Structure 1
Amino acid sequence: KVYFSDEEIEFVPAYLGDLKAMEQTSLTNPQRYFLVAARDDEVLNCDTMLARYLGAHQLHLLGSDHALSDFDEILPFVKLAVGLP
């Protein structure tokens, strides 16, 4: 079931192969990426994210969550990282 509605989705094992085929094993230009990783992310492992984006610009949050519920506080850092005033 879709998280934000009652819509049902079908996920079949063949999709795993498709996803694997799209996977990138390394970043070709890590300096082009900006990672926002939350230590208390309940979906993604923070250490895995930090390691995966090694060499990229990173904002490592010692709290927060997967939804980045405190994004208003983070926004100035994101804007700085992407060159916005």
Structure 2
Amino acid sequence: MTTTHLLYLHGFRSSPQSNKARIMADYVSAKHPKVRWWCPQLPPSPRDAASLIVEGIASWPRQSMSVMGSSLGGYYASWVAQLARCKSVLINPAVNPARDLEKYIGEQASWHDPEEKFFFRPEYIDELRLLDTRSMTPAAPEMVLIAQGDEVLDWTEMSARYPHALQLVQEGGDHALSNFEEYLGRVEEFLTLA
């Protein structure tokens, strides 16, 4: 099925200004101008982020929408893919953020604007648990891009979490997947962008 609507979800402390989000936005704009692109600024609360996403895609055609997500956005994207039963592309996705983000409770600075601060609250951990889809069989095809050199997340956990996915695992690399541009053709093909 052709993708006519594409949602991109950024990671923890990140924003729509992330390198991958901007690269993908530019690529879609240049090569697939008919595709509806949406990359929202996600609030720190997972519950609020989920509400924003649900509201934003409410009118989207489920049969021709897809979702992409990086890091924590990958975790959210897996949840969206179950909800909408749509294709997903996950980039170094967080597998267990309820465990990994506990040490970040407190004041945090935005990655792209260190002047911008937010508070990561203890209750957000429980909110993350409510979005966990690890026990579910994928509702639609998944592609996962994994860097073995990810300095933030364990690549073996990512690989084990997505046994049904088309896995593109690279030696080395980093959490930001700095060579993301090399994968654009594969992503475009997988999503069948309109």
| TM-score interval, normalised by the smaller of the two chains | 0.7 to 0.9
- 1:5-84 residue pairs with structure 2 within 5 A? 5=113, 6-29=115-138, 32-83=141-192
CA shift in 2, pair 1:57/1:30, >3 Å = farther
Structure 1, unpaired ranges of 5+: none
Q: Secondary structure at the match of 2:117?
A: coil
Is it true that 1:4 corresponds to 2:94 in the alignment? no
- The CA deviation at 1:25 is 2.4
Q: How many pairs align?
A: 84
Structure with bigger strand share is: 2
Instruction: Give % identity.
Output: 36
Q: RMSD value over aligned CA atoms?
A: 1.8
- The CA deviation at 1:65 is 1.4
More deviation in 71-80 or 23-32? 23-32
Deviations 1:6-30 (A, max 9, x none): 1111112111111111111234226
TM-score normalized by the length of structure 1: 0.82
